[in-house]
């Protein structure tokens, strides 16, 4: 065993061994390595919001840490689990283990940025080196700026600037071996109670996901090999499995955006372009949307809590606990909305088109504040991500950067008919409507009595009546918007 003092690798949202610069550099230093994960339930409780892990994220984390520990063991190391405020735990661990340096990959949540700066300066003072790396985005948020040197507020120029930077660096291979340090005592994962017990609502999550780096690699390979070719045409269809479903793996850093980028490029190259080219561009553009969200969060740290457009501070939101609950439970009486909300509850994930539909419905048809939707998604999504979630909710509500124009209020019936044309998505998640013919599957209230009877549907009994009339709700939303437009003009 080496006589050198050890170094700590602090895993956070980078639960992988490959393309992990913090880990690779720590290993290359030649010192024995102490890998650690800290469950910190203090730092994310901020004045402007409580961003402790939601239920679905906790489930994911448990399994991802199990996998990470196994992979580290395979390389000769292990994983130390500690809990508590990271700004106390990390310096204490440094002292306890007499470590000479700490390595980490950067996080971008405002509370994480503040915490990391504080830890770095405390360790600097103690003569302990901190080495931080960019690993979870292709471009660090401060490296893309407008010509005027400002952060981007609009996606398209951001996207062009990202492309103009050229191809990202090639991903790093995982270390062959990790020189093990004597590991200090850690917590037992099972003692963290990350998994739901009573009730155990995670059955649908277990059936749907394989958390961990190997699961992420399999998902990426399957998507590129089987589905990417359909992506451009069908990415908006919640009834088809044609998006990558990489979002939770990306959120937890089980795969890096650089790895995704280069795998797609390699496939493009090998398949000689054609249909793959435009599909690949459409897909990589979405990966850059993620970077845009991070750019917004980094430069506007209040994004998760405050309207990006301040005129929305006077928006006449409604308090309606009953309607909110009906939305959360998939009981709004609008089949596409209910299918999407039930998909979320069962699997911890929802298709992007469905997210836009349910977010428009909550904030415009029901006039309920986007923060309520953001909070529900935070608790139920396995990919709950502060940057993507807050940027996307504000985008849909109209209060965000580069937001959809306010008058773009989704009609849940025509959205359903267009993006779930045979009603397969509705039939999967709202089985009580299964017997309805396609022509009524998205608007059961229009079905004649005998059609409803044959399908075994009694509206108001087997399936709820509509919470609102969409036409009237749309008018009400536009009137509400007029009030803030007028305020602005006054
Ligand atoms: P793909 O279409 O395969 O895209 C690949 C990757 O690109 C995704 O994994 C994701 O990381 C990124 N991406 C795709 N679409 C977007 C987008 N519109 N904005 C930003 N990044 C994108 N995404 C999250 O990861 N976490 C969230 O908490 C989240 N909340 C959302 C809330 C609302 C109201 C809306 C409208 C969207 C939200 N999104 C969120 C963005 C998007 O819906 C998901 O990233 C996407 O559905 C994930 O599925 P996928 O991996 O199959 O995506």
Q: What is the pLDDT of residues 199-224, one digit of tens each?
A: 999 999 999 999 999 999 999 999 99
Distance CA 87, CA 90 (A): 6
Q: What is the pLDDT of residues 43-73, one digit of tens each?
A: 999 998 999 999 999 999 999 999 999 999 9
pLDDT at 440 over 80: yes
pLDDT at 488 over 90: no
Q: Count of alpha carbons within 13 Å of 72, Cβ hemisphere only? A: 27
Q: How many residues does the chain have?
A: 490
Its sign, for the CA torsion 279, 284, 290, 293, is: negative
Distance CA 405, CA 397 (A): 9
**Other beta carbons less than 10 A from residue 41's beta carbon:** 13
Ligand 1: distance of its center to the CA of 242 in Å? 13
Question: How confident is the model at residue 58, as a pLDDT?
Answer: 98
Q: What is the pLDDT of residues 82-104, one digit of tens each?
A: 999 999 999 999 999 999 999 99
pLDDT at 1 over 60: no
Give the pair of three-digit tokens for residue 423.
């009603």
Give the pair of three-digit tokens for residue 189.
């994962």
Averaged over 130-151, what is the pLDDT?
97
Question: How confident is the model at residue 275, as a pLDDT?
Answer: 72
Residue 410 CA to its chain's centroid (Å): 22
SS3 167: coil
Ligand 1: distance of its center to the CA of 162 in Å? 18
Which residue in 310, 375, 304 sits closest to 108, CA to CA? Answer: 304
Does the active-site annotation cover 352? yes
Evaluate whether 390 touches 308 at the Cβ level (below 8 Å).
no
pLDDT at 3 over 80: no
CB-ligand 1 contact for 234 (6 Å cutoff): no
Cα distances (angstroms) measured from residue 294 to each of 40, 208, 469: 21, 27, 36
Dihedrals phi, psi of 156, to nearest 5 degrees? -55, -50
Evaluate whether 337 touches 327 at the Cβ level (below 8 Å).
yes
Confidence label for 4 from pLDDT (cuts 50, 70 and 90): very high
Does the active-site annotation cover 317? yes
pLDDT at 105 over 70: yes
pLDDT at 383 over 70: yes
Please name the residue that has the structure tokens 């509500």. Answer: 397
Ligand 1: distance of its center to the CA of 487 in Å? 33
Active site residue: 286, 411, 417, 445, which one?
A: 286
CB-ligand 1 contact for 251 (6 Å cutoff): yes
* H or E element in which residue 83 lies: strand 80-83
User: CB under 8 Å to 83, separation ≥6 — which residues?
Assistant: 38, 39, 40, 41, 89, 187, 192
Nearest alpha carbon, ligand 1 atom 52 = 245
User: Among 247, 253, 294, 372, which residue has the most ligand 1 atoms within 8 Å of its CB, making it the best to mutate?
Assistant: 247
Which residue in 477, 336, 347, 461 sits closest to 406, CA to CA? Answer: 477
- Ligand 1 atom nearest 355 alpha carbon: 36
Evaluate whether 353 touches 238 at the Cβ level (below 8 Å).
yes
CB-ligand 1 contact for 401 (6 Å cutoff): no
Question: How confident is the model at residue 48, as a pLDDT?
Answer: 86
Distance CA 417, CA 433 (A): 15
Name residue 134's beta-bridge partners.
none
User: Among 341, 388, 399, which residue has the most ligand 1 atoms within 8 Å of its CB, making it the best to mutate?
Assistant: 388
Confidence label for 450 from pLDDT (cuts 50, 70 and 90): very high
CB-ligand 1 contact for 115 (6 Å cutoff): no
Task: State percent of the chain over pLDDT 90.
Answer: 94
Question: How confident is the model at residue 487, as a pLDDT?
Answer: 64
pLDDT at 490 over 90: no
Evaluate whether 229 touches 217 at the Cβ level (below 8 Å).
no
Residue 155: DSSP 8-state: H
Which residue in 136, 141, 148 sits closest to 162, CA to CA? Answer: 141
Dihedrals phi, psi of 37, to nearest 5 degrees? -125, 135
CB-ligand 1 contact for 356 (6 Å cutoff): yes
Question: How confident is the model at residue 68, as a pLDDT?
Answer: 98
Evaluate whether 162 touches 144 at the Cβ level (below 8 Å).
yes
Give the pair of three-digit tokens for residue 375.
């909070």
80-83 and 33-39 as β-strands: parallel, antiparallel, unpaired? Answer: parallel
Question: How confident is the model at residue 430, as a pLDDT?
Answer: 98
CB-ligand 1 contact for 245 (6 Å cutoff): yes
Evaluate whether 115 touches 41 at the Cβ level (below 8 Å).
no
CB-ligand 1 contact for 252 (6 Å cutoff): no
Name residue 455's beta-bridge partners.
none
Does the active-site annotation cover 370? yes
Question: Buried (b) or exposed (e) across 270-297, using 16+ Cβ within 10 A?
Answer: eeeeeebeebbeebbeebbbbbbbbbbb
Active site residue: 10, 289, 308, 376, which one?
A: 289
Question: How confident is the model at residue 180, as a pLDDT?
Answer: 87
pLDDT at 452 over 90: yes
Question: How confident is the model at residue 397, as a pLDDT?
Answer: 96
Distance CA 264, CA 178 (A): 29
Average per-residue pLDDT in the chain? 96
Prediction pTM value: 0.97
Q: What is the pLDDT of residues 306-356, one digit of tens each?
A: 999 999 999 999 999 999 999 999 999 999 999 999 999 999 999 999 999
Q: Count of alpha carbons within 13 Å of 241, Cβ hemisphere only? A: 9
Confidence label for 198 from pLDDT (cuts 50, 70 and 90): confident
Ligand 1: distance of its center to the CA of 137 in Å? 14
Distance CA 365, CA 59 (A): 32
Q: Minimum mean pLDDT among 2-6, 24-28, 145-149: which range?
A: 2-6
Confidence label for 405 from pLDDT (cuts 50, 70 and 90): confident
CB-ligand 1 contact for 132 (6 Å cutoff): no
Distance CA 121, CA 287 (A): 33
Does the active-site annotation cover 445? no
Residue 334: DSSP 8-state: -
Question: How confident is the model at residue 2, as a pLDDT?
Answer: 59
């Amino acid at each position: 065993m080496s006589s050198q003092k050890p170094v700590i690798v602090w895993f956070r949202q980078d639960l992988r061994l490959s393309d992990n610069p913090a880990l690779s550099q720590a290993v290359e230093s030649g010192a024995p390595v102490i890998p650690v994960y800290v469950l910190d339930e203090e730092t994310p409780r901020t004045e402007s919001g409580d961003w402790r892990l939601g239920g679905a994220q906790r489930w994911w984390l448990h399994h991802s840490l199990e996998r990470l520990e196994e992979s580290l063991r395979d390389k000769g190391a292990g994983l130390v689990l500690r809990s508590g405020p990271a700004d106390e735990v990390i310096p204490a661990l440094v002292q306890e283990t007499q470590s000479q340096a700490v390595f980490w990959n950067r996080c971008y949540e405002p509370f994480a940025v503040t915490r990391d700066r504080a830890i770095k300066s405390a360790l600097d003072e103690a003569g302990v080196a901190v080495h931080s790396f960019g690993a979870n985005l292709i471009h660090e948020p401060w490296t893309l700026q407008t010509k005027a040197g400002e952060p981007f507020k609009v996606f398209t120029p951001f996207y062009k600037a990202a492309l103009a930077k050229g191809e990202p660096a090639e991903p790093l291979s995982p270390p062959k071996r990790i020189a093990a340090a004597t590991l200090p005592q850690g917590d037992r994962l099972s003692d963290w109670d990350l998994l739901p017990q009573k009730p155990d609502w995670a059955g649908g999550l277990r059936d749907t996901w394989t958390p961990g780096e190997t699961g992420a690699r399999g998902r990426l390979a399957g998507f590129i090999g089987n589905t990417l070719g359909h992506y451009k045409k069908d990415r908006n269809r919640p009834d088809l499995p044609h998006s990558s479903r990489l979002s939770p793996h990306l959120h937890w850093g089980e795969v890096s955006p650089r790895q995704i980028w280069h795998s797609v490029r390699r496939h493009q190259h090998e398949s000689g372009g054609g249909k793959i080219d435009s599909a690949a561009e459409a897909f990589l553009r979405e990966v850059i949307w993620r970077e845009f969200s991070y750019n917004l969060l980094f430069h506007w740290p209040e994004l998760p809590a405050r309207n990006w457009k301040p005129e929305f501070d006077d928006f006449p939101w409604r308090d309606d606990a009953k309607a909110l609950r009906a939305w959360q439970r998939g009981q709004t009486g609008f089949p596409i909305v209910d299918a999407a909300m039930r998909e979320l509850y069962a699997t911890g994930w929802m298709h992007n088109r469905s997210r836009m539909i349910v977010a428009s419905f909550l904030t415009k048809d029901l006039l309920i504040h986007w923060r309520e939707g953001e909070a529900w998604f935070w608790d139920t999504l396995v990919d709950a991500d502060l940057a993507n979630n807050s940027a996307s909710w504000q985008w849909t509500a109209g209060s965000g950067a580069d937001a959809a124009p306010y008058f773009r209020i989704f009609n849940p019936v025509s959205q359903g008919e267009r993006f779930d044309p045979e009603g397969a998505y509705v039939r999967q998640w709202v089985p009580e409507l299964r017997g309805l013919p396609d022509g009524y599957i998205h608007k059961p209230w229009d079905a004649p009595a005998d059609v409803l009877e044959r399908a075994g549907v009694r509206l108001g009994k087997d399936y709820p009546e509509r919470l609102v009339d969409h036409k009237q709700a749309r008018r009400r939303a536009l009137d509400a918007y007029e009030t803030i437009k007028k305020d602005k003009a006054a």
